[in-house]
Structure 1
């Protein structure tokens, strides 16, 4: 502010009719990120619940079968 008057570079152009209306791109990216994080959290919860219910299903059978001793 020079002498109480805002500089011309500090002014923000008003929303014109040719723009996308009241859609805020930053808010859209933030909401998309939140939705993706919620989907990831839900997938991890399902995976962990399956692991808790049946922990041995995640282990290949070759690792817990008895080995042949010569």
Structure 2
């Protein structure tokens, strides 16, 4: 008895569909501001200087929106 395997092209298509569905709720500006928001959130984790270092990226995201 052999296990059925999903062909690689189907898996690749499924991955692209999942990525597209994840980005669908974001509007045009939301997609453009995403790198600024991710960088800002990452910097805010740093103690002491995190919020100060994230300020320019917060302004970047606000300007895009």
Structure number with the higher helix fraction is 2
The structure, 1 or 2, with the larger RCO (C-alpha pairs under 8 Å, 6+ apart) is 2
